[in-house]
Amino acid sequence: MKSISLFEPNIGSLEKKLVIKSINENQISSYGYFTNLFEKEVKKITLSKYNLATSSGSSALFVAFKSIGIKKDEIVITQSYTFTGTTNAIILNNSIPLLLDIKKDNLNLDLDNLERFLKNDTIKKGKFIYHKTSKKKITCLCLVLTLGVIPDLKRVKRISKMYKLKVVFDAACALGQKYLNKKLTDFCDIAIYSLNGSKNITSGAGGVISTEKFKYYDFAFKFSNNGKILNAYDYKMIGFNLKMSSLNAALGLGQLKRFNYFLKKKKEIKNSYKKNLNPIKLYNSKYDLGNKLHWLNFCILNDKKKRNNIINALRKNNIMVSKFWLPMHMQTTKKHFLLTRCDNTQYIYDRILVLPSSTFLKIKTIKKICKIIKNIYVQK
């Protein structure tokens, strides 16, 4: 029996045609015709003033922290429940991730807990705040939009303004998302997106940096171009080659043109899971206003043992499911982080069940998946 993937990219004839065209026209290197066109087209989805295509979501996040000027040994607050690319980007900028807990009902940073931490565990010196325990300056908040779910961004903006924190959104899986009908970059300094093969649209490998501020875009553009000033071999700064290739952009361009089709299919899949899983509820956050992405479907099951039994049963049937991210406070690399209690993060990790969500998924396959889940879940 063919394995049912958790997610697989949907590459159609349009994407193949554009990739072949980029090869035939020798448009395969960085910043060619297709890269420029991709950046113009992705702007229609991000709605942000400035958009830069990068080699990956991880490189986009790395460059984002560089662009806002995070310095050595400064603290960046983020959550434990995230992909390792978040903390890697902070550490590779010689900064320190401080990990806080999430809220159970939206899987994002617990904003009540964040405000308590900022009030009780920091001291103000001049314009800035410092962590009482480590004595390090706190200069940035990196908000992870977990699974594309959006928290109260008006509150995030208010908190960051009060404590003079720069804000970066790790919106890796939230391309196309809005909040109260406003673009994400209305609430942050920089937002980054991933175009990895597992996301709703892909460029094979790629990412996007979006911002409303030219100074951040200008730095990101130069840094990701080896520090080179446009049309001159005069390198004014130290940088890397982190640009998206024109070949990857050609693939991404074709995917952008099919974005609405993908969203329609994802909605159909989610609705089918909701119908066939009943009485088990598919996760749906009350805070997730207007979510149209439906990237991955998942449940939070009450019983950890049953969750593990369900995973084993599905995998025996060649159906790939996941516990999703191993939280950062459980990673071998945790020695590089400043840790706080993350009880909610642990609770979610022990109970989450991420389901196959590919746009290729058939209704009959969803029914089979749900039947296996319910047969085990109802057992006493």
**Cα–Cα distance between 292 and 263 in angstroms, integer?**
7
Residue 316, number of CB atoms within 10 A of its CB? 9
What is the pLDDT, as a whole number, of residue 121? Answer: 98
pLDDT at 37 over 80: yes
What are the pLDDT digits (tens) for 72-98?
A: 999 999 999 999 999 999 999 999 999
**Cα–Cα distance between 306 and 312 in angstroms, integer?**
10
pLDDT at 380 over 70: no
Which domains are present in the chain?
A: 13-257 (3.40.640.10), 259-377 (3.90.1150.10)
What is the pLDDT, as a whole number, of residue 291? Answer: 62
User: How confident is residue 207, by pLDDT bands cut at 50, 70 and 90?
Assistant: very high
What is the pLDDT, as a whole number, of residue 130? Answer: 98
pLDDT at 242 over 70: yes
What are the pLDDT digits (tens) for 100-156?
A: 999 998 899 999 999 999 999 999 999 999 999 999 999 999 999 998 889 999 999
Which region among 185-194, 222-231, 325-334, 365-374 has the lowest average model confidence (pLDDT)?
222-231
CA angle centred on 166, ends 212 and 147, rounded to 5°: 80
**Single-letter amino acid, residue 373:** I
Give mean pLDDT, residues 49-68.
98
Task: Please tell me which of 45-49, 321-325, 376-380 the model is most confident about, judged by mean pLDDT.
Answer: 45-49
What is the pLDDT, as a whole number, of residue 332? Answer: 94
Burial 247-259 (b: 16+ CB within 10 A, else e): bbbbbbbbbbebb
Structure tokens at 94: 């010689």
Q: What percentage of residues in the chain have a pLDDT greater than 90?
A: 84
What is the pLDDT, as a whole number, of residue 232? Answer: 67
**Cα–Cα distance between 27 and 61 in angstroms, integer?**
26
Query: Regarding predicted confidence, which is higher, 288 or 335?
Result: 335
What are the pLDDT digits (tens) for 302-319?
A: 899 999 999 999 999 999
Asked if residues 205 and 48 have their Cβ atoms less than 8 Å apart, the reply is no
Which region among 191-195, 209-213, 234-238 has the lowest average model confidence (pLDDT)?
234-238
pLDDT at 289 over 70: no
pLDDT at 295 over 90: no
**Cα–Cα distance between 178 and 176 in angstroms, integer?**
7
What is the pLDDT, as a whole number, of residue 31? Answer: 72
Residues 337, 343, 348, 351, CA torsion sign: positive
pLDDT at 51 over 70: yes
User: How confident is residue 227, by pLDDT bands cut at 50, 70 and 90?
Assistant: confident
